[in-house]
């Protein structure tokens, strides 16, 4: 059974390798050391134990493990390799009792790079997990005035208050707008209940945003952008308690308005979101 799981994951990995090679892109894990060699940083912060979203774990700290896994952490080594044996042992542990040991990782510019625990990430990815416990060190980028830097430091401030690390906006000022949209003062921390309630709402919204019916929104907005637009129109106090049917109905109203108002002239919330200060 575990061999079959490995074979399936490896086949996906090899398919992914062929795809990226056909595009002239490296099919292996990005290496943070290579990225940092061309960037200026300004220190590190120990974040302790956090739940790292698996979709934001994008690479490895050093090059040593980069070719054992595809860009989506699918295994690439032969079935009779030591790597495969250890992967299958972790697969068994996950299916029997769950993987609970935290990985070690660095966070840089809202993405995570693994130091220890590559196979744990690979196994959990194969089973569609959402998060993995991680001991995380944040590497702070230089505050160089660039748009990316400004958005990132707004994220740092927001995540310090909210404990939410899975959101990303494509423009500045939006983390503060979200803080206000959920009824919080600019410097007001979130409670555990606040985080849990928001996560449930965001997960339900994300499922709708990822649906094929929302393709006219996808590509233009991040999920967080689209959610903030939604909260410009529908009150969070009400929307967080919507039934799935109510949430879908409201989302479809947003999609329909966006489809009709492509020039943004009459859709003020969307115009404000996308046309605001960069």
End residue of a domain, out of 142, 160, 191: 142
Q: Which residues contact 211 (CB under 8 A, 6 or more apart)?
A: none
Torsion from C-alpha of 43, 46, 52, 54, nearest 10 degrees? 40
Please give the Cα distance from 60 to 258 (Å, whole number): 39
For position 41, which CATH number holds?
Answer: 3.90.1530.10
Please state the domain count of the chain.
Answer: 2
pLDDT value at position 209? Answer: 80
The CA-based diameter of the chain, rounded to the nearest angstrom, is 62
Same structural domain, 181 and 117: no
CA distances from 226 to 6, 103, 269 (A): 37, 31, 11
Same structural domain, 77 and 153: no
Please give the Cα distance from 103 to 100 (Å, whole number): 9
pLDDT in tens, 223-250: 899 899 899 889 999 999 999 899 989 8
Same structural domain, 70 and 182: no
SS3 73: coil
Predicted TM-score (pTM) of this structure:
0.87
pLDDT of residue 99 exceeding 50: yes
End residue of a domain, out of 108, 142, 176: 142
Please give the Cα distance from 170 to 38 (Å, whole number): 23
pLDDT in tens, 39-97: 899 999 999 999 999 999 999 999 876 789 999 999 999 999 999 999 999 999 999 98
pLDDT value at position 271? Answer: 44
Same structural domain, 189 and 138: no
Average pLDDT over residues 258-264: 51
Same structural domain, 107 and 118: yes
Same structural domain, 106 and 182: no
- The domain in which residue 252 lies consists of 143-278
Same structural domain, 191 and 181: yes
Long-range contact list for 254-258, CB < 8 A, 24+ apart? Answer: 254/217, 254/226, 254/229, 254/230, 255/213, 255/214, 255/216, 255/217, 258/216, 258/217
Centre a 10 Å sphere on the Cβ of residue 233 and count the other Cβ atoms it contains: 15
Centre a 10 Å sphere on the Cβ of residue 182 and count the other Cβ atoms it contains: 17
End residue of a domain, out of 117, 142, 167: 142
CA distances from 193 to 32, 160, 163, 199, 247 (A): 35, 16, 11, 10, 20
Same structural domain, 1 and 138: yes
Yes or no: say if 163 and 199 are a contact pair by the CB < 8 Å rule.
no
pLDDT in tens, 122-178: 999 999 999 999 999 999 999 999 999 999 999 999 999 999 999 999 999 999 999
Using 50, 70 and 90 to split pLDDT, how confident is the model at 253? confident
């Amino acid at each position: 059974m575990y061999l079959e799981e490995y074979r399936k994951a490896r086949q996906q990995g090899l398919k992914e390798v062929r795809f990226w090679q056909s595009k002239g892109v490296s099919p292996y894990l990005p290496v943070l050391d290579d990225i940092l060699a061309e960037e200026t940083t300004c220190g590190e912060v120990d974040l302790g134990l956090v739940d790292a979203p698996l979709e934001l774990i994008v690479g490895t700290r050093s090059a040593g493990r980069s070719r054992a896994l595809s860009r989506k952490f699918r295994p690439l080594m032969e079935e009779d390799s030591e790597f495969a044996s250890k992967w299958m042992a972790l697969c068994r542990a996950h299916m029997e009792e769950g993987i609970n040991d935290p990985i070690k990782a660095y966070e840089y510019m809202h993405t995570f790079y693994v130091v220890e625990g590559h196979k744990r990430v690979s196994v959990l990815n194969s089973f569609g997990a959402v998060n993995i416990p991680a001991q995380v060190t944040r590497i702070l980028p230089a505050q160089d005035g660039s748009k990316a830097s400004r958005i990132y430091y707004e994220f740092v401030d927001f995540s310090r208050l909210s404990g939410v690390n899975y959101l990303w906006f494509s423009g500045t000022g939006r983390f503060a707008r979200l803080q206000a949209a959920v009824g919080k003062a600019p410097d007001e921390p979130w409670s555990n209940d606040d985080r849990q309630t928001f996560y449930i709402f965001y997960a339900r919204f994300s499922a709708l945003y990822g649906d094929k019916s929302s393709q006219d929104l996808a590509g233009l907005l991040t999920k967080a952008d689209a959610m903030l637009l939604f909260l410009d129109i529908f009150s969070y106090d009400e929307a967080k308690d919507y039934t799935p049917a109510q949430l879908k109905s409201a989302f479809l109203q947003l999609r329909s308005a966006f489809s009709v108002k492509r020039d943004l002239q009459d859709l003020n919330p969307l115009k404000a979101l996308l046309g605001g200060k960069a």
